[in-house]
Amino acid sequence: MANNSNLSKRAALRQQQELEERQQRNRRMLVMGLSALTVVLVAVVTIVVVSVWKKQSDTTAPPNATAGHGIQLHSKGTQPAADAPHVVIYEDYQCPACKVREHEFGDVVTQLIDEGRITAEIRTAYFLDDVNRQDNFKSSSRAALAAAAADSVGKYREYHKVIFDNQPQEGRGFTDEQLRVDFAAQAGITGEDLTAFQKAYDEKTYQAFAERSYRAMTDNKITGTPTFTVDGKTLVFIDEKTKQVLIEPNAESFMAAIERLKTT
């Protein structure tokens, strides 16, 4: 009877040990499973957060942004016909030639838009960032951000003109004080609009949009500024060989050049 009792005790002990081992294995498997699940959940959350941030960044654009990543200049008079020629203007706010072209043809383009004879958009480049002094670094891209911020408060046309009217000598660049305060005042941005404008500028709200606008220039194989295109064809203002002026700074000459372009 003693031997049977000892055997029963040993069997019970083995069963207890086996039970404990199974419980330990189950606990380890549970811990490993939870750890793996945690890793998966963290990865999923990270992907979702990054995707949402990227989507918001990619889709943040000023109110008058176009599908081509420019800013539309809307008519303040007659609305354009559906088949009105569409002019795309590529500029860099530090480009001296862009300032000259703006001063010569800015009012002409505005007149034709308000008469409903053309539509137009501006796509901004910033390849001249590299010429700036250290204290006014990236002036072209900062000016592009400021112009987009001005569009968000309905003052793009005015602000765009003010920038070129105050363009410094190439390389000197714009200060933040000029872009945030001085130019805004000259463009008529005040009160709550000024607060919103400065917030958009300070937080670089339209950084991704400005980058897409610049990329549109390279994607369309535009090699310099200023460049005016109409339905994908480049307007030529001066014959480089003869130096003959081909487009005079008036509405009729500009429209005649567009008509000639249609036949090429």
pLDDT tens-digit readout, 232-262: 999 999 999 999 999 999 999 999 999 999 8
Does one domain contain both 104 and 217?
yes
Residue 223 lies in domain: 71-263
Does one domain contain both 47 and 146?
no
CB 93, CB 163: distance < 8 Å: yes
Does one domain contain both 110 and 184?
yes
pLDDT of amino acid 19: 58
Regarding predicted confidence, which is higher, 35 or 113? 113
Rounded Cα–Cα distance for residues 198 and 204 (Å):
10
Does one domain contain both 12 and 75?
no
In DSSP terms, 138 is beta-bridged to none
Q: Is the pLDDT of residue 51 over 80?
A: no
Does one domain contain both 141 and 31?
no
Evaluate whether residue 144 is within a structural domain.
Answer: yes
What's the rounded mean pLDDT across residues 10-31?
A: 64
Q: How many distinct structural domains can be found in the chain?
A: 2
In the structure, what pLDDT confidence band is assigned to residue 195 with cuts at 50, 70 and 90?
A: very high
Amino acid, single-letter form, for residue 87: V
Does one domain contain both 32 and 136?
no
CB 72, CB 87: distance < 8 Å: no
Does one domain contain both 48 and 79?
no
Does one domain contain both 6 and 91?
no
Does one domain contain both 95 and 191?
yes
Evaluate whether residue 63 is within a structural domain.
Answer: no
Pick the closest to residue 79 from 133, 118, 109 (CA basis). Answer: 118
Encode pLDDT of 139-172 as tens digits: 999 999 999 999 999 999 999 999 999 999 877 8
pLDDT of amino acid 55: 40
Regarding predicted confidence, which is higher, 133 or 126? 126
Q: Is the pLDDT of residue 14 over 70?
A: no
Q: Mean pLDDT of all residues in the chain?
A: 85
Rounded Cα–Cα distance for residues 233 and 259 (Å):
12
Minimum mean pLDDT range among 34-48, 116-130, 210-224: 34-48
Evaluate whether residue 64 is within a structural domain.
Answer: no
Does one domain contain both 37 and 154?
no
Evaluate whether residue 239 is within a structural domain.
Answer: yes
Rounded Cα–Cα distance for residues 81 and 85 (Å):
9
Does one domain contain both 150 and 194?
yes
Regarding predicted confidence, which is higher, 128 or 31? 128
pLDDT of amino acid 190: 98
pLDDT of amino acid 137: 80
Q: Is the pLDDT of residue 186 over 90?
A: yes
Evaluate whether residue 65 is within a structural domain.
Answer: no
Encode pLDDT of 76-101 as tens digits: 989 998 999 999 999 999 999 999 99
pTM across the whole model: 0.77
3 state DSSP class of 38: helix
The CATH number of whichever domain residue 213 belongs to comes to: 3.40.30.10
pLDDT of amino acid 5: 54
Furthest C-alpha separation in the chain? 125
